Amino acid sequence: MHIVRTLPELRAALSAFEKPAFVPTMGNLHDGHLALLKLAKPEGDVAVASIFVNRLQFLPHEDFDSYPRTWEADCAKLEAAGCDVVFAPREADLYPEPQTFKVHPDPRMADILEGQFRPGFFVGVATVVMKLFQAVFAGHAQGVAAFGKKDYQQLMVIRQLVRQFALPIEILAGETQRTAEGLAMSSRNGYLSEAERAEALQLSLALRGLAQSALSLGQALPEKREALEQSFMSLLQDRGWKPDYLTVRRRVDLQAPTAQEPAQSLVVLGAAKLGGTRLIDNFEI
C-alpha cells in the first residue's frame, strides 16, 4: 500500500491507472468505512482512500481539535482491506492558501436538518470533496467514489454536486453498518461512556418508532407529521437527550412529504446530543 501526502505524489501513484475507486474519510476508521472500500474497490482498477480531518466543515465550538486521529490503526485496517493508495495530505497540502473559493450547495438541500444545526457544514464538505475529487480523478476519464448512507444528507449533497458539475464520477451509496445491537457505526461513538453507549441505541429505536407511526398514518401524515415528530423528540428528551430534529422527509429532496408520497419514498432522519456527543442516524422507510 502506497502512502502519499502531496498532490504530485498522488498523481504519480495514480497515473498508470484508468479508473480510481475512491473512499474519502476523516480517519478513525471503523467497519462502515471498510464496507465502503469493499463496495468501491471492484468498480475501479486502483482503490484509494483519503484521510483528512477537514477544518472547513467544523464550527468553532465543535470537535475539530479532539476529533480522534488514529493514523497507525487506520493504515493497518486499510491495508488489510485491500486499499492500494492512501492519500493523507497535511493541511498545507490541501489548503496551501486560505480557501476563499468555496462550493455552496443548494440551500434548499444544505441549509436544512444538519445544515440548520451546523451552519456552513455542507459548504465545508462540498468544498473539500470537490478538492479531493480534483486531486484523485484529475487526468482520469472515469472514476467511482463511495459515501455512506449514515450521512444521508451529505450523500445527497454530493450526488447533486456531481450531477450539476457533470463530474465523470459514479457515486456509490454504502448501507449504514451497525453493531449487533443496532447502533450505527460512527467515529463519534468513541466519545461515549459505557452507559451512554447502551443509551445511544435509543436514537435508532426512536427513529424506527417514528417510521412505523408515519407509515400507519398513511394519507394523514402531512397534517400530523410535526406533532408526531415532536412526540418522538419528547421521548428522547425525557431520557436526558437534547434532540436537534427527528423528522420524516421525502428521500428525493429531504423536503416534507405531501399526501401523494408513496411510503417507500420516505426517510426518517434524526440528530440528538447525548451528554457531550452529537449522534445522527436515519432509516429509509
C-alpha distances out from residue 11 to 5, 33, 96, 130, 169, Å: 11, 23, 17, 16, 17
Residue 69 CA to residue 187 CA, distance in Å, equals: 10
From the CB of residue 68, how many other CB atoms can be counted at a distance below 10 Å?
A: 15
Choice from 17, 25, 87, 241 touching ligand PAF (CB under 6 A): 25
Of 131 and 140, the one with the shorter C-beta distance to ligand PAF is 131
Residue 68 CA to residue 73 CA, distance in Å, equals 11
Q: Which residue number, 57 or 204, has a Cβ lying nearer to ligand PAF?
A: 57
Beta-bridge partners for 70: none
Binding segment (CB under 6 A) for ligand PAF, from list 11-19, 22-30, 60-68, 231-239: 22-30
Q: Does 26 bind ligand PAF (CB under 6 A)?
A: yes
Among 28, 54, 153, 277, binds ligand PAF (CB under 6 A): 54
Q: How far is the CB of 31 from ligand PAF (least distance, A)?
A: 14
Binding flags for ligand PAF, 159-198, as an x/- string (CB under 6 A)? ----------------------------------------
Residue with cell 489548503: 95
19-27, 170-178, 220-228, 273-281 -> range binding ligand PAF (CB under 6 A) = 19-27
Structural contact between residues 50 and 5, judged by C-beta atoms closer than 8 angstroms? no
The DSSP call for residue 176 is P
Residues that bind ligand PAF (CB under 6 A): 24-26, 54, 57, 125, 128-129, 151, 154
